[in-house]
């Protein structure tokens, strides 16, 4: 029995395990801390943009494990109350913060919303997770001054904390009734692929 016949199978097994470990070791985790838009309100889990994003990234050769910690109706204070536990439990490399819409719809003070978002980002940084903030927009019936003040906090935070800011999730679908549910607030099933591709493109630019 020659060397390859005697040890060939063991060598192949070792190489396979080493390769498998390297893939696992290089796989990054993204925690999405969001509200109903990311939670997939009114949709099956498999239809949600988050699920579509993970599959699309994998197809493109980008291994990214996505943990969707989004809750319908959640506010910035809700996200702040659970971010520490999420960070300890999942140990993500990145945290995408998609919160603030429900605060604004309830007329919460702008400075309080901003404070909560900054605190979420600070807690993430302290845990070694790289935060990304997502722009949030609200309907035009909340008054120009409030809307302008609210929507500007995302650029302000991105600049103050030197972190990336991503486009509003509904940027390409909100004005198309065919892509929205009857409530006019949540995207429907047809919109999910559009959202997933938008997020994928921006994430790939961030991860370069």
Of the candidates 69, 103, 124, 186, the residue annotated as catalytic is 186
Q: Are 180 and 187 in contact (CB under 8 A)?
A: yes
- Sign for the CA dihedral angle at 62, 135, 46, 36 comes to positive
- Sign for the CA dihedral angle at 130, 103, 84, 30 comes to negative
Classify strands 130-134 and 64-68 as parallel, antiparallel or unpaired.
unpaired
Of the candidates 22, 36, 69, 72, the residue annotated as catalytic is 36
Asked if 70 is an active-site residue, the reply is no
What is the distance, to the nearest Å, from the Cα of residue 78 to the centroid of all Cα atoms in its chain?
16
Identify the DSSP state of 144. H
Asked if 36 is an active-site residue, the reply is yes
Asked if 22 is an active-site residue, the reply is no
d(CA 90, CA 138): 31
24: its two tokens = 């696992």
Q: Are 136 and 168 in contact (CB under 8 A)?
A: yes
Q: So which residues are the catalytic ones?
A: 36, 183, 186
């Amino acid at each position: 029995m020659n060397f390859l016949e005697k040890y060939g199978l063991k060598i192949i097994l070792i190489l396979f395990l080493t390769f498998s470990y390297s893939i696992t070791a290089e796989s990054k985790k993204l925690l999405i801390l969001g509200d109903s838009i990311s939670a997939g309100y009114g949709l099956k889990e498999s239809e949600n943009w988050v699920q579509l994003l993970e599959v699309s990234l994998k197809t493109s050769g980008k291994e990214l494990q996505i943990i969707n910690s989004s809750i319908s109706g959640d506010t910035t204070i809700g996200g702040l109350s659970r971010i520490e536990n999420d960070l300890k439990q999942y140990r993500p490399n990145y945290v995408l913060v998609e919160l603030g819409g429900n605060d604004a719809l309830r007329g919460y003070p702008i400075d309080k919303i901003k404070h909560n978002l900054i605190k979420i980002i600070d807690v993430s940084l302290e845990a070694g997770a790289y935060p990304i903030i997502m722009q949030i927009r609200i309907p035009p019936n909340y008054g120009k001054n409030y809307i302008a003040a609210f929507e500007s906090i995302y650029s302000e935070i991105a600049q103050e904390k030197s972190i990336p800011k991503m486009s509003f999730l509904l940027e390409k679908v909100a004005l198309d009734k065919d892509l929205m549910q009857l409530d006019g607030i949540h995207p429907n099933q047809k919109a999910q692929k559009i959202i997933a591709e938008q997020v994928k493109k921006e994430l790939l630019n961030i991860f370069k």
